[in-house]
Chain A
C-alpha cells in the first residue's frame, strides 16, 4: 500500500517558553482535502511550516508521501506546493514573470516555463493581467497568482494556509472553486482555516485544533453530529416576538436559546420536544413562519468542542506580525 499523503504524529514545537504545538497528530490519504480548523494562535501555521520543511519540530514525526520532513527536506520540497497567509509573489514583477521564474527555478526550460505560466494564468483568470506588475493587482488577483505559483511544479500535496483570509465573498467563492477543482484532479490538499464554512465546503476531513492540541477530528458532518445532536430552530413572523420565542424554547428545554437575526435556536436532546414547542407557541399566540429540527452548524459544533466561538476578539501574533 502506498503511504498516506500526510502522516503526522506527536508533533511538538515551542517558541521560547510558549508551547505552540503540543503533540498533534493527523493523517490524510492521497487525493483528499483535509482542513486544519482552529482559531488564531491555535498552531495551524506552525504545523504547516513544519510540514513544508520551513521549521524543525522539537519532537514528533511528519512524513509527506513517505518522506520525512526533517531528514529528507529536499524530497519533500519536490512534491509539495505552499500558499502561505501572505501572497508570496514578487510585487515588482509581472504575473507572468513571477510564474515563469518559479518554473525556471524548478529546472524547466524557458519555453516550457513560459507555456506553463500562460496555462496557469488562463486557468486562474489572469490572462488579461499577465504582463501587468503585481503591484497593481487586487487582493483577490494576488491570492490567485499566489495559488498559481504554488502549482507551477505540479505538486502532489498542496498546503494552503488560510487561503481566503481577507478576501471579499466573490473572490472567496472563486478561490473555493479553484481549490475544489484541484482536489477533483487528485491533488492532496491541506488547508488551514478559521472559517467553518470553508472547511464544510471544501474538506472531506477536518481536524479541530486549539492551543496546540487536537480537540476533534472527523468529516464536517460527523463533527456537527458529535456536538450534541439536533437543534430546534424557530422563525417568528414578527421579529419583535423573538425574545418571547427564546423564552419558550428555554422554558421547554432547560437550556438558554441563542438568537440570530430573525431566528431562535436551542439544542434539543429529545426530538419529541418539537411538538411541545409548536403547541406552546400556539397557546401564546405567537405566529411563526418556520419551525424545524436541523443539525447544528459547524460554527455551533466548534463552540461546543472548543468552548469558545470560532472568531476571536483579537488576532494572535501569528497573524499580524511579519
Chain B
C-alpha cells in the first residue's frame, strides 16, 4: 500500500466540521446506488414488486369489483389510484427492514466511523426505496390500463399524481426509517411496520368511499393520510375535487417528513450498541 498523507481540516477545539452540502449529496448518491445494486443480487425484490400489484388488481377489480361498484369496469376507475397508493404504503416497509439489517450486520458501524454526513446512510436507503417504488407504481398503472383503466384528466395532472404518490412514499419511508433505527431486530421491525401499515392501507378510502362506513370508522378514515393522498390522486387521475385534498396532502407530507426526519436522525445518532445496552440494563 502506498503511503499517502491524509489531509485533514484544522483540529481546533470545538470544531465539528459538518459535512458540506455538496459532499453530503454525493454520499447520498453513492449509498443510493449501493442499495439499488442489491436488485442485481436479489432480483426477487423486483419480481415481488411486479407481481404483487397485479394480484391485488385482479383480486379487487374482478373478485370484489362487481359487488362493490356494480361492475369491474366501473370499479377499476375508482380503485386504481388508491391501489397505487396502497402499494407505495406497503413497500415503505422495506426501508424499516433494510436499515435495521444494516445495523445488525455492523455495516452502520462502518459508515458511522467514516467522515461522512450522518443523514446520508438513511437518506441513501430512502431514495433507493422511493425509486424502486416508482417502478412498482408504473407497473400498477400500466397493468390497470391493460385491464381497462382510463385517465380522464390531463397529462400534467397524471404526472402530478405520480409525484404526489412518490412524495407519500418518501414521507412514510422516513417514519419507517425511525422504526428501523429504533427497534431491535428485523422481526420486531417487520411486525411493528406491518401493524402500522395495515390500518393505514385498509381503513382508508382506497377500496370504498368513506361515506359508506360507520361513523366511528369514518372518523379515522377521514384523517388517515392514505385517504387524503388517495383522494388527491383520484382527483388528479380520474377527476373530482383536487384543491382541498391536495392541501391536506401537502400538510400531511410536510409534517410527517419533518417529524420523522428529526426523530430518525436523533435516534440514529444515539443508537450505539443496541444489543449490549439492552442486555446490560436488563431490558
Tell me if A151 counts as interface (CB < 8 A to partner B).
Answer: yes
Residues in chain B near residue A106, CB distance under 8 A = 114-116
On whether the beta carbons of B15 and A72 are closer than 8 Å, the reply is: yes
On whether the beta carbons of A49 and B273 are closer than 8 Å, the reply is: yes
Tell me if A107 counts as interface (CB < 8 A to partner B).
Answer: yes
Taking the nearest CB of chain B, how far is it from the CB of A85, in angstroms? 8
On whether the beta carbons of B8 and A79 are closer than 8 Å, the reply is: yes
Asked whether A46 and B275 contact (CB < 8 A) given A88-B109, A107-B23, A151-B1, the answer is: no
A318-B8 Cα distance, complex, nearest whole Å: 33
Tell me if B14 counts as interface (CB < 8 A to partner A).
Answer: yes
Kindly report which residue of chain A lies nearest to residue B104, judged by CB atoms: A322
On whether the beta carbons of B276 and A74 are closer than 8 Å, the reply is: no
Taking the nearest CB of chain B, how far is it from the CB of A24, in angstroms? 17
Tell me if B31 counts as interface (CB < 8 A to partner A).
Answer: yes
Tell me if A84 counts as interface (CB < 8 A to partner B).
Answer: yes
Kindly report which residue of chain A lies nearest to residue B270, judged by CB atoms: A56
Total interface residues in chain B, CB < 8 Å: 48
Residues in chain A near residue B212, CB distance under 8 A = none
On whether the beta carbons of B113 and A82 are closer than 8 Å, the reply is: yes
A93-B102 Cα distance, complex, nearest whole Å: 13
Total interface residues in chain A, CB < 8 Å: 63
On whether the beta carbons of A93 and B280 are closer than 8 Å, the reply is: no
A241-B63 Cα distance, complex, nearest whole Å: 86
Tell me if B244 counts as interface (CB < 8 A to partner A).
Answer: no
Tell me if B195 counts as interface (CB < 8 A to partner A).
Answer: no
Tell me if A73 counts as interface (CB < 8 A to partner B).
Answer: yes
Residues in chain B near residue A182, CB distance under 8 A = 1
Tell me if A52 counts as interface (CB < 8 A to partner B).
Answer: yes
Query: Which chain A residues numbered 1 to 51 have a C-beta less than 8 Å away from chain B?
Result: 15-18, 20, 45-46, 49
Q: Which of B15, B27, B104, B282 contacts A105 (CB 8 A)?
A: B27
On whether the beta carbons of A105 and B113 are closer than 8 Å, the reply is: no
Tell me if A53 counts as interface (CB < 8 A to partner B).
Answer: yes
A63-86 to B contact mask, C-beta < 8 Å, 1/0? 000111001111101111110111
Asked whether A16 and B280 contact (CB < 8 A) given A71-B14, A88-B107, A153-B6, the answer is: yes
A2-B11 Cα distance, complex, nearest whole Å: 14
